[in-house]
Each structure stands twice: as structure tokens, then as C-alpha cells.
Chain A
Amino acid sequence: MNRDEKLHIVVAETSPVISAGLSFCLRRLPGIQAQTLEVHSYPDLLDCIKSTPADIAVVNPTFGGTFSPQHLREAAGNDLKVVAIEITPLDRQARSLYDETISIVEDVPSMVSKIRSLAYSPDENPSDKEPLSQREKEIIVLVVKGMTNKEIAERLFLSVHTVMTHRRNIARKLEIHSATGLTIYAIVNHLVDLTEINL
């Protein structure tokens, strides 16, 4: 999933204290924009994941009678990751049914790394501090001056496909998807001068 989108996490737990606590922790994890929903019964959990697509369900393994992680994934119909809340340690067999486990004594860095690896694919992960390459900066300047991908490709002796790949990477690194947004970025970072562009 995209880094600048919010992560949707459902916390399913009968104890309101554990549920609220976990939900609160998940929303404040540094560097992770999460939005949480709490449900306290199995019928509510099923209604919830069917109506509102979630990325991760954090569930108490002893939750409700017919509950099983596989059943939940099937009901969700998307790529839902199911995480067990470990109040008492689970055995290996039980653990293997889940994508991950979070213990109620888990520390923040460990929760962050677990949620990250569940939610983002590895190639998305290190992107946020990656600087723009020289080529990407050149392309930004040409985009801001109003050139089309085809014109940029001709000017830089690249294929249109390569230009598009560069543009996707630029959008991902800067979290800017619009031409006006790129123009602002380019001016503030002195890649172009305001007098050089047609507004």
C-alpha cells in the first residue's frame, strides 16, 4: 500500500481496557499513520471487515466461539493481515495461524517494525529518506516548465516509459502528485526561478 495513505486497523477484543489501550498505542506509533476501529464481539468484527476494508485485524485468539484467522481472511475478501494479541504466550501451532503476534507487553519500536513489515512491501519501506537523483531533478524542471512526458523523453534521450518511471518515483519520494505541487517544490528548492515558468 501507499505510504501516505492511512492504515486501517481493526482491534477486536472483548476487554474494553485492552482494546482501548491497544487502539491508542497503534494510532500513536511514530511514522505510521494508523486509524483504528474497535469491536467487541465476533458478529461486529465480521460486519466491520465486510463493510469497511481493513488492512490489519488485531484479534484476541480466544475471541468468540467460531472465530478462526482463516475464516476472517475469507470473510474480508481482501489481503487482510490477522495479528494475534498475546495476553498469555501462544504455542507454536496457534502462532502459525496468524500473520504476526503482538504481546500486551510489546515495546513501541518492536510494534512499529511489526506493523511496518505487515503493511508495506520491502521496496516501499526505505523510500522516505531517499534523496532525489540528479536525473529526477532534471525531470522535475522540465515538468514544471510544462513539457509533456513525450517532450521530456525526446529532450533527455529517454523512452517515455523511463520518464514515467522517474515521475512515479518522484511522486513517491516527495509525496507530491500534482504539477502545481511540483512547481512549488521546484521554486522553494531553487530548481527553477519563478520567471522561467508560465503560470
Chain B
Amino acid sequence: MESEYHYSPAEKMATLIADNYRLIQVMTRFGIRVGFGDKTVAEVCRDQNVDCGTFLSVVNFVTDGYTHADVAGQISVAALMHYLKQSHIYFLDYMLPAIRRKLLDGIRMRTDDVSFLILKFFDEYMSQVRGHMEYEEKTVFLYVDSLLGGSPKEGFSISTYSDHHEEVASSLHELKSIIIKYGPADADANLLNDALYDIYRCEEELTSHCLVEDELLVPSIVRLEQESGIKSRMK
């Protein structure tokens, strides 16, 4: 039996969203707009100038949670990097600031108790995530640009790509448990719940984002390196 992909290019785009509403995020980051009627994935991608193979690779990975051996061959590295950059923008400029606002209102921030420290924890976390994403854009993405341009930068190979991904999601885990165990008792319950829901979702989405980088980006760069004759030091 051959391994099979969950969704094919002939699937209707609307079916994907009906099956799993979280795929709306993937669609948006690829630049696909709603209003596509009953068109198939292939048709929508063609109309909206999106690389269909890359889009489906991300969709299938997010849906199934693992990749097939031949996945790197389906991916346009440029399209995937564009997607990842859009994700960075979403987390840094939209989602994390929105959580901060809810947290700020929910814990009724004062300077004389732990509510202040909870916000401090969050701010430290945000700058950690920002640092991580900036590192990726400045080193990994620039390196890939140079690879795509045909003159790869010396001294970097994707195998040196550090894996401090774990921390990015695990600190959110810590924040959640601190709010739940030690949060201020006089907080506005609805606002704080809202912030907590968002933190759970953010944790899931960040974990998924990091997995896309590890399981889709890294293998496709390794393939690109091989095509450019760079010997990868990956095991």
C-alpha cells in the first residue's frame, strides 16, 4: 500500500475549512482570500498565484501531523519562506499584542502585586519569541535567499540551525500554569479566561509553526543544498 496524502489538488477549498477551521490561518498566510466559491484547491491557487504544492504540503502536515518521505519535492522553498514570514508577522504584530492587552485588563494591573510580575513575565516571553524569529529571518532566511539566488553564503548550513524551538512553546506553558496557580484572585474572570484561551491557542499554533519549520522547511533546504552541490552535514 502506498502512503497517501490527506488532501489532493482536486479537493474543494471550502471542504478543507469545513473539515478543520484552523486551516483558515494557513490559507490567510499564503495570501488566499475567501470568496472562492466551489473551486478546487488547484483552481484557487492558480487564480490567486499561490504555489499549490507548498500550500497542500502545509495543509496535509497540519492535518495529519507528519510528513511523507517525498514531501521536500513538493515544496517551493520561496513560497514556504513567504508563509513562515507571514506567520512571524501574525504572532509578533497581532496575536501576542492582543493577548497582552487582554492580560493587562484581565489582571487589573497594579504596580504593587503579582499582576505586575505576570505582565513582566509575558513581556520577557514576547521579547524571547521576537529574538528567536528575528534570528531565523536574519540567518536562516537570508541563507536560503542566497541559496535560491545561486550564490550560497559561506559558513552556514541548515544543519547548524539551532533547535531552541522547545523553549518558544514551553514558556507559554509556564505562563499559563503561573496564571492558573498564582494569578490574582480579584482578576476580571471573563477577560482573564479570554486571555487564557488565547494563550492555549497561541501555544498550539506556535508549536505547529515550529514543527512546520523543522519538518518541512529543513528537509526542503537540505534538498536545495544537495541540488546546489553543498554537502549537507545532516545525519
Contacts and interface: CB of A to CB of B under 8 A. Distances in A.
Nearest to A183: B117
Contacts, number: 75
Contact of A184 (B1, B69, B117, B170): B117
B182 A178 contact: no
Contacts of B201: none
Contacts of B46: none
B114 A176 contact: no
Nearest to B69: A47
B59 interface: no
Interface string B199-223: 0000000000001000100000000
A175 interface: yes
A184 B121 contact: yes
B131 to A, nearest CB: 15
A178 B121 contact: yes
A184 B4 contact: no
B3 A44 contact: yes
B38 interface: no
Please tell me the size bucket of the interface on B: 20 to 34
A47 B170 CA distance: 26
A37 B1 contact: no
Contact of A178 (B2, B69, B113, B124): B124
Contacts of B124: 178, 180
Interface stretch (A48-56, A109-117, A129-137): A48-56
Interface string B89-128: 0000000000000000000000011101110110010000
B178 A176 contact: yes
A175 B66 contact: no
15 contacts: A37-B65, A37-B66, A41-B1, A42-B1, A44-B68, A47-B68, A48-B65, A52-B67, A177-B170, A177-B174, A184-B117, A184-B118, A187-B114, A188-B182, A199-B120
Given A41-B4, A177-B174, 15 more contacts: A42-B1, A47-B67, A47-B68, A48-B66, A50-B69, A51-B68, A176-B174, A178-B121, A180-B117, A180-B124, A183-B117, A184-B114, A184-B182, A187-B117, A194-B112
